[in-house]
Each structure stands twice: as structure tokens, then as C-alpha cells.
Structure 1
């Protein structure tokens, strides 16, 4: 019998009340005095709408460096993380479950690409898995990016894994139900897994098994410090790698990595296709014309990219990428299906999922639970419609106007008038109301 969205699902001994989850998104809450309130304001409406599992967006395991975008929350401080119990309580009050996604950006961090941040933090090291591949050295010589990486020693890799374990322990103490590792989107975990980045000759480099070793040590650290909390990770396939990149992860490589992670003891996997560099392969959709032309963000773009000329260059590249990576419904479905055929843990699918009919086709075929991301920026209470109004479809137009301003530290919210008008009509009709 096929699974229904309303059915519970078990992940590592935790029962999630239904198979709909909010995929990790940037909340841009930071660590200031209003951070917890900001997170509650963004995530509680989703729990109230009936979503069974909420993945809080990427949070950084160290107190310095590692942020891929401004405003990311850090979870290195015991006192701050303890305050997050107010967030977990708010989600639990609505019957939902909440996971924290742990991350370090490595070479994708702001200390690499954000001009103003680099200038303000000249002593901050860029952490690298190994010596830069020639393609990145060429970008450095051209001045498009600025690399001065510190290659992690074997002992430092263990130290980094311990930071993931310590962050997971704090999260458990604050009431989180699950730990999710940011194993894709070009963060440092993907950099360990990828043959493009990982040219190490110690126990953390070489074959698939050796490149997975970092995630094995992270697993062991979390188990030792945080017990049997369910542990989930994204699994990358670098199918969108540029033609000049020969060493990258194929779909078959991604399937093999997922198998190894299940042998290690991970409780669920999230297969995700992307590239070896930060581009539109992970968001897909229209060129965000409105976001790039919005006067409110021009100063922030200049600060991030290092001036007007570089800002225009980045925008032009963004336009070109949007033509290559147009919106594709459920773009990770085939990868998920291939992984699900080979593992005995739940497979979670996300990426371009926009309606109940699509969800019903995916469940039990390509995946065991379905994640929706950017549409929650437009409809924070989207769960009520997807769970109660089949065949509901999100109002999100995949225009990406919500994402580009985040490089300035702006929150991820929908700014597209036609989408906001559609949400307004639904609110008037009571589409987001539900009885608990």
C-alpha cells in the first residue's frame, strides 16, 4: 500500500506525525538579542499549519568563520543554544518535530566571496579540505574570488568533527528532535565527499569510503555526545558540474555514498543534485530581475561583491545560469528513487516540489517524506493547504526574488506582488485555518 502525506513516518526511532517537512532555508536570524524571537516568528507558523517536521536552516558549529551568508546563526555557545528551547517548545506545542541543520561553509564561506566581510576580518582563515583545484586557482588569479586557504591537518579534521558533535549535544539539551547535516550545497561536508575538492592522501581522502570518513567521524562524535538522536544528512551528486570539471560526483557516486552512510548508521538521507560551485543549480527557476533591480539592496550588493562592476558581473552570470537551470519539477526525484532502491532507511526528497498531486506521486515511489523550501517564504502556513486541500498547489513562482537579497543579510521573504496577492486571497478565504 502506498504512503499518504498524512501518514506518520519513523526516522531513527522518532515518529514524525506526517510526511511533509519544511526543507532547510536561511532564516537570517543571527545570534543577536532578537535571534530566538526571529526564529520563532518564522518557524512556529509552519508548525501551527500542521507540518510534521521542520528543518531549521544551516547553523554554524564554530564561533568564527564558516558562514555561507550573512545572518546565519551559530550554535557554538552553550548559553545561546539553551535559549533555543523556546523555539523547540513552540514547535512541540503544535505537535511538530524540529531538527537543527549543522554546517560549516569551508571554501564557500563569506571569508572567500564577501568583499566587505573579508576586509573587516583579514585574519580569518578559509578552511580547505586540500589544495585548491586548478579551476579555483584560476578564479583567484583573475581576482573574481579571493583564496588564501588553510588546508586542514588530520588532527584539525578531528577537531572540526568534534565541533559538530558538541553542537549536536547542545541541540539535544535545547529540545531538538533530530540533527541534520548540511552534506550538500557546496559546504565543507560536500567538499570532503567530492573528488573535485578532496585530494587528500590521509585517511580522509582517496576512495569513496575514505572521503566518507569525515561523516563517519562526525557520526561517532554525535553518538558519543548526543546519544541516539536521529541523524540525517544530505547526499550530493554533482551532476551540474561545469564541463571543465572532470572530477566530480556522478549519480552513481551519490548512490554509493548513501549506501556507505547507511552502513555507518545514519537514520535517513536527502539526495540532492547540484554543482561543485555555488550557482543556480540548487535553486532553479527564473532570473530574479526584481531582486537585482531593487534599490533597497544595491548598497548591500556593492559591499558583498566589491563594487558596482563586480555586482553587475555577478548579476550577468546569474542571468546566464538561470537559462541553464530553469525550473524543473522535482529535480531530485530520479536520484532519490535510485537511492531508495539501495538503502533501508527513509529517503527524503526536496527540490522543485510545488503541489499535492506531485507529492502523492513521489511518496512511496521516490521517497518516504517530502520537503518544500522556498514556497514557505511565500506561505508560512502552507502546510494547512497541502495537508487539507488536495490538490492544492503552492503560490510560489520560483522567481528567486527571495534568495538573492540574502547576500546582503536581508531576510528570506517573498517580494513578488503577484504571489503576495495570491496569498492574500487565500488568507481571506480562510485557506490557512485549521483545527489542531
Structure 2
């Protein structure tokens, strides 16, 4: 069992595997919307270096796709299948290291969550696109497909194809290590392919991968083969936030069992998260993003993405319902993290609605070994300078105005005027300046 003294603070050093971190604050994975074009490296540097400069000990670069085509859950996601491209990212890792921080890349594949399922414009441009599926999709998704709400064009992975997908994760990890990345984070939740392997809602296979943990074990083997002993982290989902009509899902006991097996198998850290079986606001809990949905400059884009203005309004309406359904308590994963931490002897990372420095320190004395924030870094890229200096809380209001426009390919940024004004004031006062 991992033990952390009650007086453990955010500024204390910690290790994940063979990587030493200067403190226990991390930037959780976010969409950088950098793509793979000629400006991708610069975009990632502009997005991530300020966070390193602010003193944050660990930065998780957002979900990067391991395959050459398909698999993207949102526009402008970066792909890590091409070693020539990933090599160029050494410029990014060097800049992060210059500030004393470490950087892990999150590797992903969208599976049924891929854009060809939900993004109307993408489907029009790629009518041949299919989604990788663990097994036949659940009846609720098939019904939504027949109703024209989504577009299921699935290809159920054969056993050799599952093994090849695990190899793709391993190869991408190898390219990342060669480019100077310090570790690998697997996108094991948010309805990506890894969650689909783990979830009884999605996994109806009859081969060795009917036990979804076997896929994560195959990925670990591939990572060790291609990337050596680089630290390997994964999210571990619990699907208790699922709608009540979903009867088969990952329970807490299921996920505790998964966590124990992964720790025993040699994973270096775990990120327990309470999510739904669907890609919904269980991922980004908070207020209904009123400003984002009403933005006049985005109305045409929303209609294009969702297949018409009425469809866009329907998505907005569901968004509003979900914002009322999901619990917005700060640190909503804390109880789950505590249970996992009591069950394993590797570091446990906690994220989800955490905004206050005092809350960070309480969690470190009880539920986890590192504390992460995501959306607050859209509002304040150099947030670390304030939190590590003992300031009370992040400016982020959990309003989600930063996240919804990403469906159209817009970059993640704070769009709440009061927050933007306050950040500008703090910048003018030099609050984010830090002697390195």
C-alpha cells in the first residue's frame, strides 16, 4: 500500500517509475488541437511550455492517436504513428526539460468514439471511414444509428488485429521516447478503445481479449519491447456515472480488480476516473456552456458538425440536461482514488474538478500521490506559479465554454470574460513571473 504522510504538500518531490518529479502538481491531458501540420510543433510548444515555465512538475500532452487513419475523437488531434513527425517533437521536450519539468504523452485510439460516428462533415469527406469496434456495438447505439442520430460503420477487430493495435501503441511509445518524452499515459477512459475493451457494455468478445485487461497487458508488453522501461500510466475507469438504463457496466469492484492486476503486471501509476459508458459531460462536469453554444460566430460551424441547426440544438439541449445530471462536486474522483490507493502500491493520480490549493494538499494526505488539473490550464497556462506559491485557487469557473467549441476544431481556450480579464490583471501585476 502506498502511504503519504498527512503533511505531504503539493511542492514535495515524487517519482513515477524511474522518473523523478520536482512536485506533485500535473497538467492533466487536454486537447491541444495541434494536428500534424507544419505548425504542429510550434502549437504544442506555445501551449505547453508556459505550463512548464510556471513550475508544474509533470505535463501530460493530450491524447495522440497511434494509427495512421481514423481513431480521432475530435478535430485536429495529433497522430504519433509517424517517427519522422514525432522526432520533430524533440524541440518540445527539450523546451519542457529546460524548465525542470517532465512530459508524458497520452496515447489513444477512439474506437466507436471516432469522428466518423458523430461528425457530419467528417463523414461527408470520408464516407468510407469505419470505427474500430471491440465487438458488436450495444443495442442502444445500434438503435441510435437506425434513427439517424449517429453513423455506425464498424469493423470488429479480429484477434490478430487486436494484437497489431497493441503493437501500434508500443511503436508510438518508442517514437516518443526517442523524441525525449519521459513517459507514456494511456487514454483508458472517455469512451476510447481501451475503455471499450475493459467495459462489459462494449466487450462481448469470445477470444482471450474478452478479458479486457489482456489488451492493457498486451500494450504494456509492446511498450516494453519498443520503449524499454519508460514509465507507463493508464486511466482506470469506473462506469457508475452511466445512465440508469445501462445495466452492464464497470462497477467499482470491477475497477479495483483491474487496478490490482495492472499494478501487479508492472504499470507504474494509475489514474482512477468515474465516467459513463458514453462520451458525455461525465468527462467535463460543470456548468452548461451557455456562452459557447450561443456564440454567433460558431452557429454555422455547429450546424456543419452536427448535421444541421436542429441537430445542433438537440445536442445543446442534451448538454444542458447532462450538466444538471452529473455531480459537480470538486474532486469527484477522490473517493475512487482513495479506494484504489488502498489496493495498490504504485502512485495514484487524482483529477476532476479540483480548483483549490488547500484541496490539493488534503487529497495528497488522503486519496492520492499527485494532483492534476485540466481545464484550469486553458484559463491560466501558467497557473502553476500561483498554486505552487500557495495561492488559494485557480480562476477556472468550470463553465465549459472552453470545451464545446473544440467539436468544430476550435482550440481550447477560456472564453469567459470575467476570467480572461482577471488573468490579464494578474499578468500585468507579474503574478505569474517566476525565478527558475
Which secondary structure state, in structure 2, belongs to the residue aligned with residue 385 of structure 1? Answer: helix
Q: Distance in 1 between matches of 2:96 and 2:162?
A: 34
Whether contact under 8 Å (1:23, 1:55) holds in the other structure is yes
Structure 1 residues 35-434: aligned runs within 5 Å: 35-205=40-210, 210-388=211-389, 390-434=390-434
CA drift of 1:391 comes to 4.1
Q: Identify which range, 424-433 or 226-235, moves more after superposition.
A: 424-433
Question: CA offsets, 1:37-60, max 9 Å, x none?
Answer: 000000000000000000000000
Whether contact under 8 Å (2:196, 2:203) holds in the other structure is yes
Is there any run of 5+ residues in structure 2 with no aligned partner, and where?
none
- Alignment counterpart, residue 18 of structure 1, candidates 19, 23, 40: 23
Whether contact under 8 Å (1:55, 1:101) holds in the other structure is yes
CA drift of 1:428 comes to 2.3
Whether contact under 8 Å (1:182, 1:189) holds in the other structure is yes
CA drift of 1:326 comes to 4.6
Stretches (4+) displaced over 4 A: none
Which secondary structure state, in structure 1, belongs to the residue aligned with residue 200 of structure 2? Answer: coil
Which secondary structure state, in structure 2, belongs to the residue aligned with residue 318 of structure 1? Answer: helix
CA drift of 1:429 comes to 2.3
Q: Distance in 2 between matches of 1:110 and 1:247?
A: 25
CA drift of 1:111 comes to 1.0
Q: Distance in 2 between matches of 1:319 and 1:126?
A: 28
Whether contact under 8 Å (1:291, 1:401) holds in the other structure is yes
CA drift of 1:387 comes to 0.3
Q: Distance in 1 between matches of 2:382 and 2:391?
A: 16
Question: CA offsets, 1:128-176, max 9 Å, x none?
Answer: 0001111111111111111121100000000100100000000000000
Whether contact under 8 Å (2:129, 2:153) holds in the other structure is no
Whether contact under 8 Å (2:132, 2:154) holds in the other structure is yes
CA drift of 1:282 comes to 1.1
Whether contact under 8 Å (2:200, 2:250) holds in the other structure is yes
Q: Distance in 1 between matches of 2:327 and 2:133?
A: 31
Whether contact under 8 Å (1:128, 1:152) holds in the other structure is yes
Q: Distance in 2 between matches of 1:304 and 1:405?
A: 11
Whether contact under 8 Å (1:285, 1:399) holds in the other structure is yes
Q: Distance in 2 between matches of 1:326 and 1:9?
A: 30
TM-score (norm 2): 0.98
Question: CA offsets, 1:339-393, max 9 Å, x none?
Answer: 00000000000001101000010003100000010000000000000001x2420
Whether contact under 8 Å (1:18, 1:51) holds in the other structure is yes
CA drift of 1:81 comes to 0.4
Q: Distance in 2 between matches of 1:306 and 1:330?
A: 35
Q: Distance in 1 between matches of 2:70 and 2:153?
A: 14
Which secondary structure state, in structure 1, belongs to the residue aligned with residue 209 of structure 2? Answer: coil
RMSD of the TM alignment (CA)?
A: 0.8
Is there any run of 5+ residues in structure 1 with no aligned partner, and where?
none
